[in-house]
Chain A
Amino acid sequence: MKTIKVLGSGCTKCQKTAEMISRIAAESAIEVSVIKVTDPAVMMEYGVMSTPAVVVDEQLMHSGSIPHRADVEAWLVKA
């Protein structure tokens, strides 16, 4: 199962991002665990400077905006 972390201070965009990833995963029947991370020290460790950011299996995939649907689908499908 993939672990997807959504990094952000809890602003609406970060929540939307987390919801969107959960929803798309559910639609494609892919099991994921989506975790929201709000600790700034953790964001610093991943080198994230603009939120929301998305970390898929410990790899930073995206930062600075709500991701596009196509991107999310690609992350979910990629082994």
Chain B
Amino acid sequence: MLEIFTLFADWLVYDLLGLSAATKLGDALHFFVEDTTKIFALLVVMIYLIALLRASMNIESVRAWLVGKNRILGYFMGAGFGAVTPFCSCSSIPLFLGFTSAGIPVGITMSFLLTSPLINEVAIVLLGSLLGWKFTLIYVGVGIGVGVLGGLFLDLIRAEKMLQPFAAKAYAEAKQADVKAEVRRLNMAERHQFAKDELIDIFSRVWKWVIVGVGLGAALHGFVPEGWFEQHLGQGQWWSVPAAVLLGIPLYSNATGVIPVMESLITKGLPVGTTLAFCMSTVAASFPEFILLKQVMQWKLLVILFCLLLFAFTLVGWIFNGIGLLFLAT
């Protein structure tokens, strides 16, 4: 079914524009046209369908689910909800406070906040269509793993003691009893309206990232020689993983912009683990986000969180460089 996009790109680039597949420009342009049209079509379908399904779910009901849960279960649920519940990063502070003031441990809240930017329907569509389902599963597994373990660690070091005073007070005085979420039953028309709003909202936010990401990917695809990364940043250089993680931090982007670049990096021979580490650090460890979190956390906790992420992504990179090639040999 997806060949239609290849055929369209063939027609547009080779027939209509008369470029040859053998030229760098023709190759890069074909890649760009095929991938953007495919991704746009898949995004429209997926965002709409998923929104239709989760129309009646909101952040209040997630909170009601998480209140008073067993810790270990809580981390998995926090990360799991983070993966399926979309929320704008500008809401992370009120969300953090809403969870904290309901007595949800900081670690469980952070499981949610760490996983949320890493995993969402847009990321899944992009990974699935560009890098295949195996890689997508690995990515989702690692994303949830980082959320769960990160949350667990933050509670072990008693992160709640390192919040800003007003947030710490809200946690200490939390009343679990008064968080009830009303779940409204929606009819089909309401679900459609919600899904339509979501589609317009998400699509209008991500389409330019897809263009930028795929454009960069196409440039890499057409102009960087095969195996370039293998020669320069291959398996042997252990430092390439932490370097990729560090490089990813100032390059703040969302999953939409980075994943198309990942595809090209991998096909050019950048090891899977290094690519994964780079992508995750670009998406999940960003300065603007950290500045926001300063409103509720003390510097000490921010620094710990930052180091934790760097360490986690580096470890992920090393592990997958070790086993990745066996795994992804297709």
- Do A47 and B90 form a contact, CB below 8 Å, given A40-B295, A64-B59? no
Assembly CA distance A40 to B295 (angstroms): 8
Is A22 among interface residues, defined by CB-CB distance under 8 A? no
Note all chain A residues with C-beta closer than 8 A to B87: 50
Is B162 among interface residues, defined by CB-CB distance under 8 A? no
Q: Is B101 a contact partner of A9 (Cβ separation < 8 A)? A: no
Is A43 among interface residues, defined by CB-CB distance under 8 A? yes
User: When each residue 284-298 of chain B gets 1 if its CB lies under 8 Å from chain A and 0 otherwise, what string results?
Assistant: 000000001001100
In this complex, what residue of A is CB-closest to B101?
A44
Q: Is B94 a contact partner of A43 (Cβ separation < 8 A)? A: yes
Assembly CA distance A65 to B205 (angstroms): 14
Is B197 among interface residues, defined by CB-CB distance under 8 A? yes
Is A77 among interface residues, defined by CB-CB distance under 8 A? no
Q: Is B295 a contact partner of A14 (Cβ separation < 8 A)? A: no
Note all chain A residues with C-beta closer than 8 A to B95: 49-50
Q: Is A49 a contact partner of B91 (Cβ separation < 8 A)? A: yes
Note all chain B residues with C-beta closer than 8 A to A74: none
- Size range of the interface on A? 10 to 19
Q: How far is the CB of A62 from chain B (nearest CB, A)?
A: 12
Q: Is A44 a contact partner of B201 (Cβ separation < 8 A)? A: no
Q: Is A51 a contact partner of B90 (Cβ separation < 8 A)? A: yes
Is B121 among interface residues, defined by CB-CB distance under 8 A? no
Q: Is A50 a contact partner of B197 (Cβ separation < 8 A)? A: no
- Do A14 and B94 form a contact, CB below 8 Å, given A49-B60, A65-B197? no
Q: How far is the CB of B93 from chain A (nearest CB, A)?
A: 5
Q: How far is the CB of A9 from chain B (nearest CB, A)?
A: 5
Note all chain B residues with C-beta closer than 8 A to A43: 93-94, 97
B interface vs A, CB < 8 Å? 58-60, 63, 87-88, 90-91, 93-95, 97-99, 101, 166, 170, 197, 201, 292, 295-296
Q: List 11 A-B residue pairs with CB atoms under 8 Å apart, sorted by A's residue number.
A: A40-B94, A40-B295, A44-B97, A44-B170, A49-B91, A49-B97, A50-B59, A50-B87, A50-B88, A50-B94, A64-B91
Q: Give the 7 A-B CB pairs with smallest separation, nearest first.
A: A11-B90, A49-B98, A44-B97, A43-B94, A50-B91, A40-B93, A9-B90
A interface vs B, CB < 8 Å? 7-11, 13-14, 40-41, 43-44, 47-51, 53, 64-65
